[in-house]
Structure 1
Amino acid sequence: MDPRKMKQMMEQMGVDMEELDANRVVIETDDADLVFEDVDVNKIDARGQETYQVVGSPEERDAGSAAGAIESGDSEDATDESAGVPDDDVEIVAMRTGASEDAAREALEENDGDLAAAVDQLE
Protein backbone atom coordinates (compact mmCIF):
# COMPACT_ATOMS: atom_id res chain seq x y z
CA MET A 1 0.00 0.00 0.00
CA ASP A 2 1.15 3.54 -0.76
CA PRO A 3 2.64 5.10 2.45
CA ARG A 4 0.86 8.40 1.77
CA LYS A 5 -2.50 6.62 1.46
CA MET A 6 -1.76 4.62 4.61
CA LYS A 7 -1.01 7.80 6.58
CA GLN A 8 -4.20 9.42 5.30
CA MET A 9 -6.26 6.40 6.40
CA MET A 10 -4.63 6.44 9.85
CA GLU A 11 -5.46 10.13 10.26
CA GLN A 12 -9.09 9.45 9.34
CA MET A 13 -9.26 6.78 12.06
CA GLY A 14 -7.75 9.17 14.64
CA VAL A 15 -4.37 7.44 14.77
CA ASP A 16 -1.23 9.60 14.95
CA MET A 17 2.22 8.02 14.58
CA GLU A 18 5.47 9.76 15.47
CA GLU A 19 9.01 8.39 15.17
CA LEU A 20 11.08 9.05 18.29
CA ASP A 21 14.81 9.68 18.17
CA ALA A 22 15.71 7.10 20.83
CA ASN A 23 19.27 6.05 21.62
CA ARG A 24 18.43 3.14 23.90
CA VAL A 25 15.45 1.30 25.34
CA VAL A 26 15.68 -0.78 28.52
CA ILE A 27 12.94 -3.19 29.57
CA GLU A 28 13.42 -4.37 33.13
CA THR A 29 11.86 -7.66 34.23
CA ASP A 30 12.30 -9.73 37.37
CA ASP A 31 14.45 -12.24 35.47
CA ALA A 32 16.55 -10.10 33.13
CA ASP A 33 16.97 -6.69 31.51
CA LEU A 34 16.47 -6.34 27.75
CA VAL A 35 18.64 -3.55 26.35
CA PHE A 36 17.99 -2.27 22.82
CA GLU A 37 20.98 -0.15 21.70
CA ASP A 38 20.38 0.42 17.98
CA VAL A 39 16.63 0.87 18.12
CA ASP A 40 13.73 2.39 16.20
CA VAL A 41 10.85 3.62 18.37
CA ASN A 42 7.45 4.76 17.14
CA LYS A 43 4.84 6.43 19.35
CA ILE A 44 1.31 5.65 18.23
CA ASP A 45 -1.54 7.75 19.62
CA ALA A 46 -4.93 6.22 18.89
CA ARG A 47 -7.64 8.45 20.35
CA GLY A 48 -5.70 9.25 23.53
CA GLN A 49 -4.23 5.79 24.06
CA GLU A 50 -0.45 5.93 23.60
CA THR A 51 1.42 2.84 22.44
CA TYR A 52 5.14 2.54 21.84
CA GLN A 53 6.56 0.21 19.19
CA VAL A 54 10.19 -0.86 19.71
CA VAL A 55 12.02 -2.41 16.76
CA GLY A 56 15.49 -3.87 17.26
CA SER A 57 17.43 -6.77 18.70
CA PRO A 58 17.86 -6.70 22.49
CA GLU A 59 20.88 -7.74 24.48
CA GLU A 60 19.84 -9.71 27.55
CA ARG A 61 21.58 -8.72 30.79
CA ASP A 62 21.24 -9.75 34.42
CA ALA A 63 18.23 -8.20 36.17
CA GLY A 64 19.07 -4.71 37.43
CA SER A 65 22.40 -4.47 35.63
CA ALA A 66 21.21 -2.02 32.96
CA ALA A 67 19.83 0.45 35.52
CA GLY A 68 22.93 0.08 37.68
CA ALA A 69 25.19 0.97 34.77
CA ILE A 70 23.20 4.11 34.04
CA GLU A 71 23.06 5.24 37.69
CA SER A 72 26.77 4.65 38.31
CA GLY A 73 27.79 6.54 35.17
CA ASP A 74 29.25 3.48 33.43
CA SER A 75 27.04 4.14 30.42
CA GLU A 76 28.16 6.52 27.70
CA ASP A 77 24.60 7.84 27.53
CA ALA A 78 24.34 8.67 31.24
CA THR A 79 23.57 12.32 31.88
CA ASP A 80 24.23 14.70 34.71
CA GLU A 81 20.48 14.85 35.25
CA SER A 82 20.48 11.37 36.80
CA ALA A 83 22.53 12.75 39.72
CA GLY A 84 20.38 15.83 40.36
CA VAL A 85 17.38 17.79 39.29
CA PRO A 86 16.78 17.95 35.50
CA ASP A 87 17.35 21.41 34.01
CA ASP A 88 13.96 21.24 32.26
CA ASP A 89 12.23 20.87 35.63
CA VAL A 90 14.16 23.84 37.01
CA GLU A 91 13.07 25.97 34.04
CA ILE A 92 9.43 24.93 34.45
CA VAL A 93 9.37 25.84 38.15
CA ALA A 94 11.24 29.12 37.55
CA MET A 95 8.87 30.16 34.74
CA ARG A 96 5.75 29.15 36.67
CA THR A 97 6.72 30.98 39.87
CA GLY A 98 8.91 33.81 38.58
CA ALA A 99 11.67 32.67 40.95
CA SER A 100 15.34 32.47 40.01
CA GLU A 101 16.69 29.19 38.65
CA ASP A 102 18.78 28.74 41.80
CA ALA A 103 15.70 29.11 44.01
CA ALA A 104 13.73 26.76 41.73
CA ARG A 105 16.52 24.13 41.85
CA GLU A 106 16.70 24.39 45.64
CA ALA A 107 12.92 24.00 45.99
CA LEU A 108 12.99 20.96 43.70
CA GLU A 109 15.82 19.38 45.69
CA GLU A 110 13.98 19.99 48.97
CA ASN A 111 10.86 18.36 47.50
CA ASP A 112 12.65 15.36 45.93
CA GLY A 113 12.01 16.60 42.39
CA ASP A 114 8.24 17.03 42.88
CA LEU A 115 7.31 19.87 40.50
CA ALA A 116 3.95 20.67 42.10
CA ALA A 117 5.38 20.77 45.62
CA ALA A 118 8.27 22.99 44.50
CA VAL A 119 5.89 25.42 42.75
CA ASP A 120 3.62 25.42 45.83
CA GLN A 121 6.59 26.16 48.10
CA LEU A 122 7.73 29.12 46.00
CA GLU A 123 4.28 30.69 45.47
Structure 2
Amino acid sequence: MMPGINPKQMKAAMKKMGMKMEEIEDVQRVVVYTPSGNYVFEPAEVVGITMQGQTSYQLSGTPRFEPAKVEIPESDVELVASQTSVPPDAARAALEECNGDIAEAILKLTAIE
Protein backbone atom coordinates (compact mmCIF):
# COMPACT_ATOMS: atom_id res chain seq x y z
CA MET A 1 0.00 0.00 0.00
CA MET A 2 0.93 3.66 -0.12
CA PRO A 3 2.71 5.29 2.83
CA GLY A 4 0.63 7.70 4.89
CA ILE A 5 -2.71 6.27 3.74
CA ASN A 6 -4.90 4.19 6.00
CA PRO A 7 -5.04 0.65 4.51
CA LYS A 8 -8.76 0.31 5.31
CA GLN A 9 -9.56 3.57 3.51
CA MET A 10 -7.42 2.49 0.57
CA LYS A 11 -9.30 -0.84 0.30
CA ALA A 12 -12.64 0.96 0.48
CA ALA A 13 -11.60 3.41 -2.27
CA MET A 14 -10.36 0.56 -4.47
CA LYS A 15 -13.63 -1.34 -3.94
CA LYS A 16 -15.62 1.73 -5.01
CA MET A 17 -13.56 1.90 -8.23
CA GLY A 18 -14.14 -1.79 -8.89
CA MET A 19 -10.54 -2.77 -8.14
CA LYS A 20 -9.57 -5.90 -6.30
CA MET A 21 -6.07 -6.71 -5.04
CA GLU A 22 -5.11 -10.17 -3.93
CA GLU A 23 -1.66 -11.44 -2.97
CA ILE A 24 -0.74 -14.87 -4.28
CA GLU A 25 0.29 -16.75 -1.16
CA ASP A 26 3.44 -18.86 -0.66
CA VAL A 27 5.28 -17.69 -3.79
CA GLN A 28 8.88 -18.81 -3.44
CA ARG A 29 10.36 -18.06 -6.86
CA VAL A 30 9.36 -16.40 -10.13
CA VAL A 31 11.39 -16.98 -13.31
CA VAL A 32 11.10 -14.79 -16.42
CA TYR A 33 12.52 -16.66 -19.41
CA THR A 34 14.25 -14.74 -22.23
CA PRO A 35 16.38 -15.95 -25.16
CA SER A 36 19.54 -14.51 -23.58
CA GLY A 37 18.88 -15.95 -20.11
CA ASN A 38 16.49 -15.99 -17.18
CA TYR A 39 15.60 -13.41 -14.56
CA VAL A 40 15.06 -15.20 -11.26
CA PHE A 41 13.19 -13.41 -8.45
CA GLU A 42 13.80 -15.26 -5.20
CA PRO A 43 12.15 -14.53 -2.82
CA ALA A 44 9.28 -12.90 -4.65
CA GLU A 45 5.92 -11.32 -3.89
CA VAL A 46 3.13 -11.41 -6.48
CA VAL A 47 -0.10 -9.42 -6.26
CA GLY A 48 -3.01 -9.82 -8.67
CA ILE A 49 -4.89 -6.59 -9.41
CA THR A 50 -8.28 -6.96 -11.09
CA MET A 51 -9.86 -3.88 -12.62
CA GLN A 52 -12.63 -3.71 -15.22
CA GLY A 53 -12.52 -7.47 -15.71
CA GLN A 54 -8.78 -7.64 -16.46
CA THR A 55 -6.18 -8.98 -14.07
CA SER A 56 -2.63 -7.65 -13.98
CA TYR A 57 0.13 -9.03 -11.82
CA GLN A 58 2.65 -7.00 -9.89
CA LEU A 59 5.97 -8.70 -9.11
CA SER A 60 8.21 -7.46 -6.31
CA GLY A 61 11.69 -8.71 -5.48
CA THR A 62 15.30 -8.43 -6.51
CA PRO A 63 16.15 -10.34 -9.70
CA ARG A 64 19.36 -12.11 -10.53
CA PHE A 65 20.23 -12.83 -14.14
CA GLU A 66 21.24 -16.34 -15.20
CA PRO A 67 22.67 -16.30 -18.75
CA ALA A 68 21.38 -18.97 -21.11
CA LYS A 69 23.72 -21.90 -21.56
CA VAL A 70 24.80 -22.20 -25.17
CA GLU A 71 23.97 -25.54 -26.78
CA ILE A 72 27.00 -26.82 -28.67
CA PRO A 73 26.16 -29.27 -31.49
CA GLU A 74 28.41 -32.34 -31.74
CA SER A 75 29.19 -31.41 -35.36
CA ASP A 76 30.72 -28.10 -34.16
CA VAL A 77 32.86 -29.95 -31.61
CA GLU A 78 34.08 -32.36 -34.31
CA LEU A 79 34.85 -29.50 -36.71
CA VAL A 80 36.87 -27.52 -34.14
CA ALA A 81 38.70 -30.67 -32.97
CA SER A 82 39.65 -31.64 -36.54
CA GLN A 83 40.77 -28.11 -37.47
CA THR A 84 42.93 -27.68 -34.37
CA SER A 85 44.12 -31.25 -33.70
CA VAL A 86 42.87 -31.16 -30.10
CA PRO A 87 40.75 -33.74 -28.29
CA PRO A 88 36.94 -33.26 -28.44
CA ASP A 89 36.81 -32.27 -24.74
CA ALA A 90 39.21 -29.37 -25.36
CA ALA A 91 37.25 -28.32 -28.46
CA ARG A 92 33.96 -28.35 -26.50
CA ALA A 93 35.52 -26.31 -23.67
CA ALA A 94 36.79 -23.71 -26.16
CA LEU A 95 33.38 -23.52 -27.85
CA GLU A 96 31.63 -23.04 -24.50
CA GLU A 97 34.11 -20.31 -23.54
CA CYS A 98 33.49 -18.60 -26.91
CA ASN A 99 29.67 -18.93 -26.65
CA GLY A 100 29.52 -21.34 -29.57
CA ASP A 101 31.53 -19.17 -31.99
CA ILE A 102 33.41 -21.72 -34.13
CA ALA A 103 35.92 -19.28 -35.66
CA GLU A 104 36.77 -17.75 -32.28
CA ALA A 105 37.23 -21.21 -30.73
CA ILE A 106 39.59 -22.27 -33.56
CA LEU A 107 41.60 -19.06 -33.20
CA LYS A 108 41.78 -19.51 -29.44
CA LEU A 109 43.09 -23.07 -29.76
CA THR A 110 45.61 -22.27 -32.48
CA ALA A 111 46.99 -19.04 -31.02
CA ILE A 112 50.74 -19.14 -30.45
CA GLU A 113 51.58 -18.16 -26.92
TM-score normalised over the length of structure 2? 0.53
CA distance in 2, matches of 1:64, 1:48: 39
Q: How many residues align?
A: 65
CA distance in 1, matches of 2:67, 2:45: 23
- What does residue 77 of structure 2 align with? none
Superposition deviation, residue 34 in structure 1:
0.4
In structure 1, C-alpha distance between the alignment counterparts of 2:15 and 2:31, rounded to whole Å: 30
Q: CA RMSD in A?
A: 1.7
CA displacement at 1:50 relative to structure 2? 0.7
Relative to the length of structure 1, the TM-score reads: 0.49
Which protein has the larger Cα radius of gyration, Structure 1 or Structure 2? 2
Give every structure 1 segment of 4 or more consecutive aligned residues whose post-TM-superposition deviation is greater than 2 Å: none
Alignment correspondent of 2:66: 61
Give the distance between the partners of 2:9 and 2:39, measured in 1 at CA: 35
Matched, 1:5 2:29: no
Structure having the higher strand fraction is 2
Greater helix proportion: 1
Pick from 34, 40, 52 the counterpart of residue 35 of structure 1. Answer: 40
Structure 1 residues not aligned, in runs of 5+: 66-123
Contact 1:33 1:64 in 2 (8 A): no
1:14 equivalent in alignment to 2:18: yes
| 1:49 aligned residue | 54
Query: By how many angstroms is 1:64 displaced?
Result: 7.0
Give the Cα–Cα distance (whole angstroms) in 2 for the partners of residues 33 and 46 of structure 1.
29
1: CA distance between counterparts of 2:69 and 2:32?
10
Distance 1:61 1:23 in 2: 17
Which letter does structure 2 place at the counterpart of 1:24?
R
